[in-house]
Each structure stands twice: as C-alpha cells, then as structure tokens.
Structure 1
Amino acid sequence: MDALLLYDSASDEDDNDDKTTTNKNRKRSFPSDQLKLPVKRQALPQLPSFFSPIHKPSSSSQDHQGRTRSKPALLDSWPTHVYIQIPTCEQIQTILGRVTTQDATIHSMISNDNSFHLSLTKCLYLKEHQLDGFADMIQKRLGDTSRFTISFAQLSLLTNEENTRSFLTIEVGSGYNELMKQLKLVDQVVKHYGQPIFYEPPRFHASIAWSLKKDPLENIIQNSPEQLMKDLAYIEYEVSSVFIRMGNRLVKIKLR
C-alpha cells in the first residue's frame, strides 16, 4: 500500500457563486375614501448585476453525496485549476465497473467529456481581475513546450487535506520527468500570484473514483487483478494540451 498523500479536495466541481436578481411585489391597502383611479406606470429598468443579492451554494452535505466544502464560498473567489485531460480506456472502464458495482459508497469521477484530470496545481482561489493575467502567464510558459507521452504504473489511495474524502487514483510512471518540467513552469506562475504550489514531492495521478471511507478503496486496490494494471501500463497517452478551469471559464493551451 502506498503512503497516503494529502491534497486539496476542491475540484473543477466547486463552482463560483451565482448572481441573481430578485424582485418582490408588495401591496399596501388604503381606506376606501382615499382610493384613486389607477395610474399607468412604466416598468423600471433592471438594476445592474452588481446590485444583485448573492446566493451562496448550499453547504449541506446531503446536497453533495456527503461531501463537505474545504473552504467556504466567498464573493469574488474563483476556484482555479490547471490540469491535463486523460481519456478513458477499456482498462479504466473495467476498474470503474468493478468499484462502483461492488460498493455503493464509491463514486466515479469520470467527467461529462468521458475523461479524467491529471492535476498540475492544487485548487487555487483567484480574484476576477487576476484571471486573465494568470491564464496569459501560463500560456506564455507552456505554449512553447513540446508535447509528450505518459503512461500509468499503479493504483493508489490518496486522501484530501481535511481527511474527509479518499480517492482511488492511477499514478504516472513513464512521463514523470516531462510532467516535472511542466510543473516547474506552472509553479512559477502560482507563486507569482501568492498561491500554494503543488505537493512536494509530487505524485502525478488521475483520480478515477472517490469515497468518504478509505476501506472500500483499499479493498479494491488489494483485490484488483495484477494483469489489469499491466495492461494499463502498456497504454500511452499523448499530452498535447493543458487546460485551465477558472470558475465557469475554460482555457485550452496547445503544446508544440
């Protein structure tokens, strides 16, 4: 069993606060002797969005499959994440099929585009006026780097910094050194914005499932067929792009 690694649980799944405008119609009653003929009124224009009340996302664990926020939702705090997309393959689908059918407390982390994320940052929190500058600096540093290939070597169990969730991950074997070069460039930008850099030493991985409990994931690792991981290790993935998710904004950086 690999040692547990502490890392941020916030993901491309924590969203920025929604802004909505609410209008309340209130009625007043008058004595009958004060009633006047109705006067036709023009509708007032809607107030700009910065006057709108802020509705914070629900913090109830019942709304998020038992998950809890690692940080409270704050105004003008945009969760930001730099990552590489990993497409699913038959071997990963087989692993997911085994884990999600054996235990209902284990949840798949496959995204809507049928891929997984390999992180190059923790979940960062930037102000809105910082977003464009952050993306531009990442673009300048990574845009001139060459694409490369990676493969995965083993299943492992990682947990977040609050010990509230555990993750079944596949760790990178081949391509580790190339990822380190990318990480050093990204860390330069992260430090420039006063944000925490990636974990040291880095264990590059893609999380494929999560659970509130460690035991079900440990059982999966111990009982997974050895041949399944050997087959997975033979599959190479070309890394040709890096993505930046900033709240509801997505930036794609193509490598040379």
Structure 2
Amino acid sequence: MVSSPDAEHHDDVGEHGGRLRSFRHERGNWASYVYVAFRPHEELWEMLDELKSVARKHGVHLTTAEEIHVSLSHTVILRHHWIQPFIQSLREKLCTTRRFLCVADLLKVYVNKEKSRTFLGLEVARGRQQLLEVVSGVDLSLQEFHLETFYQNPSFHVSLAWCVGDMAKALQGACLLELQRVVDDFEDSDVLTRFYADTIYCKCGNKVMSIPLC
C-alpha cells in the first residue's frame, strides 16, 4: 500500500532549488507519471561534467538531474484509490509489448510549460516508434481515468540537467553546437547513449511500480 502524505503541506521553493509546483498539493492526491528508466554508465557523468562546463562558458549554470529517464506521460494527479486500478490498466494495455533498444544521442533544449525550468536532454532517435506505441497504451489508461494524455508529437528525451527559468536562447546556436561536439567526440558515446526499454515504470508520490515488457 502507498502511505498517505502529510495532511498539510507548505511548498517552499527554496527546498526545490527555485522550482515551482505546477499544481497544489492536496491530501489523497498523488503526483504520478509513467516513464522508461535510463541507467547511466559511470562515464556518462564525466561527459555531463564537460557539458556543464561548456554551458557555464555561455552563462548557464546547469544542475544534474536527480532522476534520469524518458517520460511517457505528463505528471497527472491520481486519487489514492485509483492507483492500483490504474497500474492494472497499464499492465493490460502493455502485456504484449516487447522490450526494445533505444539510442539517444542528439542534444536538444527543452523548456517546461510554465517557462520556469529549462532542460538539456538527449533526444531518442532509434526506438521512437516503439515508444510511440507504448504511449498509445498509456494514453488509453489515462483516458479511462479522464486524465490528460501525452503530447501528440512527443520528443522523447533523457533530461540530463536543468536550470531555473527560460534559458533556451542562451543554450541554442553556437552553445548547442559546442555541446553536441562534446557528445559526438566523447569516447564510447555510442555506448553511453543507448539503453534498453525492458520495463515501464509508474511513480506515484514516493512509490514506484514496475511493468516488465515481454
């Protein structure tokens, strides 16, 4: 069972590095999202350090992402009693989905809807069609609970680092070209930027549930 959150919660942006919640915390509501895990090799952190160093030269101070994954849904609100039925629905929709290889080697800059955070991510090239098929199943489950479905034409990506505010302009152009060269020239980058989608995860609050693919 998932434990209940505190009855009252004061959201202090200082506790989140200046980040803002996009919705109000309420008792019995669970911020939830579906994703594929990306399990980085140790050398990826070396590459990321180089990327952060390049970004600093262009006036952008990036923070390493706490959770590195590929999102397959927006963050939605699940009521406590919806969680297990929602997970069961996901299992049914994805029961025949086979595991597959993904390669994410193209750097892109993303800004969230609120313009409060900017992300540096690696876009998935190989494996995109399979991810779209997974999202179709996830969307069906979301629709059963009258929840928002994912983007119509998503850019699947692994978010490596972020900063507060809309810093897209500073990271584009010459900066992005220099950042991409770091990835392209990094030893074993072809290994660091590939991963297998063998399990779909759903995180509800601080609980993570897994759905293995066949």
Same fold (TM > 0.5): yes
State the match for 2:146 in structure 1: 194
Higher alpha-carbon Rg? 1
Secondary structure at the aligned position of 2:33 is classed as strand
Structure that is richer in helix per residue: 2
Q: Structure 1: any 5+ residue segments left out of the alignment?
A: 1-15, 20-53
Identical amino acids, percent of aligned pairs: 23
Structure 1 range deviating more: 177-186 or 82-91? 82-91
Aligned partners of 1:208, 1:249: CA distance in 2, in Å? 22
Which of 54, 72, 91 does residue 24 from structure 2 map onto? 72
Secondary structure at the aligned position of 1:188 is classed as helix
Which of 61, 73, 76 does residue 105 from structure 1 map onto? 61
- State the shift of 1:60 in Å: 2.6
Counterpart residue identity of residue 178, structure 1: Q
Aligned partners of 2:42, 2:116: CA distance in 1, in Å? 30
Instruction: Give the alignment of 1:245-256 within 5 angstroms.
Output: 245-256=203-214
**Aligned partners of 1:152 and 1:233 also within 8 Å:** no
State the match for 1:229 in structure 2: 184
**Aligned partners of 1:91 and 1:228 also within 8 Å:** no
Q: Structure 2: any 5+ residue segments left out of the alignment?
A: none
Secondary structure at the aligned position of 2:108 is classed as strand
Instruction: Give the alignment of 1:1-256 within 5 angstroms.
Output: 18-19=5-6, 54-56=7-9, 58-89=10-41, 92-101=44-53, 103=56, 105-111=61-67, 116-213=68-165, 214=167, 215=169, 217-218=171-172, 220-226=175-181, 228-229=183-184, 232-233=189-190, 235-256=193-214
After superposing on structure 2, the runs of 4+ consecutive aligned residues of structure 1 that deviate more than 4 Å are none
Aligned partners of 1:179, 1:125: CA distance in 2, in Å? 22
The structure with higher relative contact order (CA 8 Å, sep 6+) is: 2
Counterpart residue identity of residue 196, structure 2: E
**Aligned partners of 2:5 and 2:27 also within 8 Å:** no
- How far does the alpha carbon of each residue in 1:209-244 deviate from its partner, in whole angstroms, 9 at most, with x for none? 000141554465232252623753565322111111
**Aligned partners of 2:5 and 2:28 also within 8 Å:** no
Aligned partners of 1:120, 1:91: CA distance in 2, in Å? 26
Aligned partners of 2:52, 2:105: CA distance in 1, in Å? 22
Aligned partners of 2:119, 2:182: CA distance in 1, in Å? 22
**Aligned partners of 2:51 and 2:182 also within 8 Å:** no
- State the shift of 1:192 in Å: 1.1
- TM value normalised by structure 2: 0.85
Counterpart residue identity of residue 16, structure 2: H
- State the shift of 1:90 in Å: 5.5
RMSD: 2.3
- How far does the alpha carbon of each residue in 1:131-164 deviate from its partner, in whole angstroms, 9 at most, with x for none? 0000001011113211110101310011111101
